Amino acid sequence: MTGAGAAAASRHLLGSAVSAVALVLLTALVASGSDAVSAFDADARALADRVFGSSDGSWFAAVGRADTVGSTLLGAGLLTVLGVTLHRRRFAAALWVLAGLTVQFAAETALGPLVGRPMPLPADGTAPDPGYSFPSGHTASATLVLAVLLVVLRTGTPVWWLCLGLGSVLVAAVGVSRVLADAHHAADVAGGVLLGLVVGFALAWRLDARPPDSSGKEAR
Q: What is the pLDDT of residues 1-16, one digit of tens each?
A: 555 556 767 888 888 9
pLDDT of 191 over the 60 cut: yes
Across the range 204-219, mean pLDDT stands at 58
Q: Tell me how far CA of residue 197 lies from CA of 142, 200, 202, in angstroms.
A: 10, 5, 8
| pTM to 2 decimal places | 0.83
Geometric angle at alpha carbon 104, from 167 and 179, rounded to 5°: 60
Instruction: Give how far the C-alpha of residue 181 lies from the chain's centroid of Cα atoms, to the nearest Å.
Output: 17
Ordered by start, the domain boundaries in the chain are: 17-209
- Higher-pLDDT residue of 21 and 159 is 21
Distance CA 11, CA 103 (A): 21
| Packing angle, helices 3-31 and 35-52, rounded to 10 | 100
pLDDT of residue 54: 57
- pLDDT(213) > 50: no
pLDDT tens-digit map of 25-80: 999 999 999 999 999 999 998 887 787 765 555 555 555 566 677 778 788 888 88
Q: How many helices (H) and strands (E) does the chain have?
A: 7, 0
Whole-number pLDDT of residue 18: 95
Q: What is the mean pLDDT of the chain?
A: 82
